[in-house]
A and B are shown apart, each in its own frame.
Chain A
Amino acid sequence: MPYGPHTPDDRARMRAALGIASIDELFEDIPLAVRAPGLDLPGPLTELELSFRLRALAGRNRIDLASFLGAGVYRHYVPAAVDQIASRGEFYTAYTPYQPEISQGTLQTIYEYQSMLAELTALDAVSASHYDGATATAEAALMCLRATGRARILVSAGVHPEYLATTRTYLDGSRFALETVPLRADGTTDLAALERLLADASAPVAGVLVAQPNVFGILEPMAEATRLAHAAGALLVAVVEPVSLAVLAPPGAYGADIAAGEGQPLGLPLGYGGPYLGILAATSALMRQLPGRLVGRTTDADGRRAFVMTLRAREQDIRRERAASNICTNQALCALAATVYLATIGPHGLRDAAALGAARARELERALAAAGAPRVHAGPYLNEFAVHVSDAPRVHAALLERGILAGLPLATWFPDDPVLRDALLVCATEVTQTAEIEAFAAALRDVRTEVVA
């Protein structure tokens, strides 16, 4: 075993203390009929061999293309300090801070995370983390159902399809109804349709989920959607992207009851799907409906300020089948990375990152339009938008050959939509270079000529 300290003599001493001759005596409680004969697995590899294998696998992934792919997961510049702090063993090899006297480091950073996310969302109660944007959104829907006692959820068609799919999985179709609210041609949620769906008095709505920006990058009329939801006695869940909150109106400002979102843009790597950070925040009225850990400020027996996990009566280890959620393990280290990211980039740096991404996106819009790929939706956008390209999946594949990752072919998610199946969803952030935008536009011109030919 590569990491164990025991010498043969150590093991012999322990066996002697126990009065056993063979280790097998400690496994005699496993019935013979189901005792495994051993395993068939590769290895063991020494650390050197392992490093070769892992390097070879990592090397088979292609990360060298000029990327315009976002769709909920974004490349950002991450200050070098973030990974150095998140790599400290005192943080990453600690457990959940059940013993607060020797966990003040983790507890205070979670409190700081909650404080900074409260500031970004303008909501009072921030969970110490959920798994990712999709599960945070699903938990937000469950919160609405619990808080209102109603059984129907409305989700804007502009919510990320993977979040919508996850929410569907979480909501038992036989217990709770989930309906989608269509978008208008400009890419914004159809508020007239929302109003009609809310008006059905026989099936009152618990919560309305709207994304800002939505999955097509379009900015939604959040204040109006909130007003409609509240008029029908429903809660409004804003599905947010946290870097955008440096420049966009925060959920608390337009009256949202809950904010859910993907925290990956706050200093976490793309990492092919995770680990990410589920952001979940709510008004203080909904604090006790929040799933997962919360850290609060208190004092110790000598009156010193200290931090501790609080409102624990919502949690599974105390409340068991009456808990607000089954969540136990969360994404604490990812929340730490987000905390260090926000502390080291600062409010002005975050605003610069968001606004520079928007500026690059406007360059991208102009360059692609000039190359024959105009925007699909007319609504306002921040740093991501869909463009129309005939035969988009083939064009996307041809661009890969030219070193361009041309965003996401929306046919991936909407193969039957006559508009979206011929569209690419593209984004820019502060790391997008003007030269890459020019290369994308030039390659697109070439490829469109070829595909047409």
Chain B
Amino acid sequence: MSEHIDVVAPGDAPGAPFGAADALCPAVGAALQPTLDELSRPGRRTARVPHPPAGALDGIPAEQLRSLPPALPEVAEPDAVRHFVNLSHLNYAVDTGFYPLGSCTMKWNPKINEWAARLAGFADLHPLAPDALAQGTLELLWDLERWLCEVSGMRAVTLQPAAGAQGELTGILMVRAWHRSRGDSARSEIIVPDSSHGTNPATASMAGYRTITVKSDARGGVDLDALRAVLGPRTAAIMLTNPSTLGLFEDQVCEIVDAVHAAGGLAYMDGANMNAVLGKFRPGDAGFDVMHFNVHKTFSTPHGGGGPGAGPVAVGEKLLPFLPSPRVLREQDGSFRLERPGERPTSIGRVRSHVGSTGVLVRAYAYLLAHGAAGLEEVSEDAVLAANYLRHRLRGTYEIPYDRVCKHEFVASASNLKRETGVRTLDVAKRLIDHGHHPPTIYFPLIVEEALLIEPTETESLETLDDFAGALEAIAAEAHEDPEALHSAPHSAPVRRLDEATAARQPDLHWRPMTGAQMPCLD
């Protein structure tokens, strides 16, 4: 247990000591850091690259040039490295502890994958290099596409989308292209369940569609009657997350897909929760026309503090012609090449530059190969077993609004605590930090009051699961004994709760007005 120390942020008044000295096992512990700008001293130089010869910029009109060099920080390497290392200590991460963030699949990020992505042959290859120079990467991408086809039960895959949300946009643009190819321009609506990720309706809007929200039924699934009531000639597609954001398998999935197809719409599956059903359920088998994967969830590529990820999209027969370009193609002689610009006029076009976030895809490839079919199935079995185990352990302490077999995650609710003690989900989450755990996702999905969406993943030991359940039980007990301690939690983090209102009212998004460098360049 680290000791509490006073922290003085440079330029600020001396800070108060951290809160009550009752921290159990701080999640992170370190001192706040000055900014790079505050560390900067004019004249601190580095020697990274040679100084250019005189006249390097000859021929460029003076008005095109910068009149003052940019005022970037001038920091010596030891100070810069210590700055970032000390900042890293302020972060909670999968590498430091349990991260049961529902809907995010914070599973272990295997270290061999990091090594692989940094191999010079992968990392130093230019994306516009001729195909002949890129055969290793192209083969890897080709194989990965085939494997994702197998996992999804679909016909083809594009690896181009940079993230799940971009995969959604890619999929919906293909849906639009399909309707248009049939001369059907009346379809203006995308249907999403009220439990969906926010990206689904945001994607529909970006693609120019109106969002129609259908409510969930009492069991947490799509209300079939409500769905049938909104289906019609304006329906372009449904976007369905399965398992849902409640962690429940949509057992009416076949009826839903059939109803949408009967109305002339297509069925999109948000595959964010595929970690629950690898080898158990393939969306293509249920008739879905298109889906995306989040490789940073299901296939272990690291979340990076917000990204990068990748969002490959799998399609069935109908949408094949519309896949974004370029696709990876295999020639008769077994060599690989990228599709050329304009080679497939039915394509929706590009959704980003180059073939995709290859460095992320190398990691996903390594993950799939390390597991094989049986290993992937075991991933889902263990993820589901762990989630059900936690649900079972917590059902006496927290409300479980949908208390039936869940998949890889489940929703608990602190509404009982709120009623009885005034302690809210936010307080529970912040208090978990004092117990050394990252909080689950909170207040999502929106249809559950005081929601805690808990996803343990398959890579956490039984000891960790028990410790986490014990912490949640202790917090519930504490809510009855000393609710004030929870309202003011966390007490052991580097900072206490933040003033988010002022941050939004008076945005301070960079460290000072831009003034140009304090010293001219030595040319």
Contact = CB atoms under 8 A, between A and B. Distances in A.
Contact of B93 (A39, A89, A330, A351): A89
Contacts of A449: none
Given A298-B498, A299-B499, A321-B204, A97 B127 contact: no
Given A41-B150, A122-B514, A125-B509, A336 B166 contact: no
A92 B309 CA distance: 11
Contacts of B451: none
A148 interface: no
Contact of B430 (A77, A101, A174): A101
Contact of B349 (A75, A104, A165, A330): A165
Interface in B427-444: 429-430, 433, 438-439, 441, 444
B345 interface: no
B305 A106 contact: yes
A27 to B, nearest CB: 5
Contacts of A418: none
Nearest to A288: B507
Nearest to A55: B119
A37 B439 CA distance: 36
Nearest to A165: B350
B106 A89 contact: no
A100 B503 CA distance: 13
Contacts of A408: 128
Contacts of B496: 101, 300-302, 304
A184 interface: no
Given A14-B462, A272-B127, A348-B521, A249 B66 contact: yes
B388 A333 contact: no
Majority SS at the chain B contact face? loop
Contacts of A351: 69, 521
B60 A102 contact: no
A354 B488 CA distance: 50
Interface in B143-186: 147, 150-151, 153, 162-166, 168-169, 173, 176
Interface stretch (A189-197, A230-238, A339-347, A440-448): A339-347
B70 A347 contact: yes
B49 A131 contact: no
A330 to B, nearest CB: 4
Interface string B318-359: 000000100000000000000011000000111111111111
Contacts of B110: 2-3
A145 to B, nearest CB: 11
Contacts of B304: 91-92, 94, 331-334, 336
A327 B198 CA distance: 10
B66 A250 contact: yes
Nearest to A213: B64
Given A14-B386, A61-B134, A249 B64 contact: yes
B396 interface: no
A260 interface: no
B2 interface: no
A332 B354 contact: no
Contacts of A252: 514
A317 B198 contact: yes
Interface stretch (A198-206, A240-248, A366-374): A240-248
A304 B12 contact: yes
A10 B517 CA distance: 61
A332 B49 contact: no
A19 B59 CA distance: 79
A180 interface: no
B460 interface: yes
Interface in B109-129: 109-110, 112, 114-129
A33 B254 contact: yes
A26 B381 CA distance: 8
A404 B290 CA distance: 42
B24 to A, nearest CB: 14
A346 B37 CA distance: 11
Given A2-B370, A116-B72, 14 more contacts: A4-B459, A11-B382, A18-B389, A30-B251, A54-B366, A67-B126, A81-B77, A89-B96, A249-B63, A270-B124, A302-B15, A316-B201, A328-B164, A430-B50
Contacts of A44: 369-372, 374-375
A337 to B, nearest CB: 10
A311 B497 CA distance: 17
A116 B90 CA distance: 21
Interface string A75-101: 101010101110111111111111111
A390 interface: no
A261 to B, nearest CB: 11
A296 B502 CA distance: 10
A23 B388 CA distance: 11
A349 B46 contact: yes
A50 B366 contact: yes
Q: Name the interface size band of chain B.
A: 35 or more
Going nearest first, the 3 A-B pairs with the smallest beta carbon separation are A89-B95, A58-B121, A273-B354
A127 to B, nearest CB: 10
A124 B509 contact: yes
A400 interface: yes
A125 B374 CA distance: 48
Interface stretch (B227-235, B275-283, B472-480): B275-283
A60 B140 CA distance: 11
A27 B93 CA distance: 30
Interface string A161-192: 11101101110101100000000000000000
A256 B288 CA distance: 45
A104 B90 CA distance: 5
Interface string A282-304: 00000100000111111111111
B92 A38 contact: no
Contacts of A377: none
A158 B44 CA distance: 38
Contacts of A170: 169, 206, 351
Contact of B139 (A60, A272, A326, A333): A60
A101 B108 contact: no
B307 A332 contact: yes
Nearest to A27: B280
B341 A161 contact: yes
Contacts of A397: 130
Interface string A15-37: 10110000101111111011110
Contact of A274 (B120, B359, B382): B359
Nearest to A340: B84
A394 interface: no
A114 interface: yes
Contacts of A287: 507, 509
B9 interface: yes
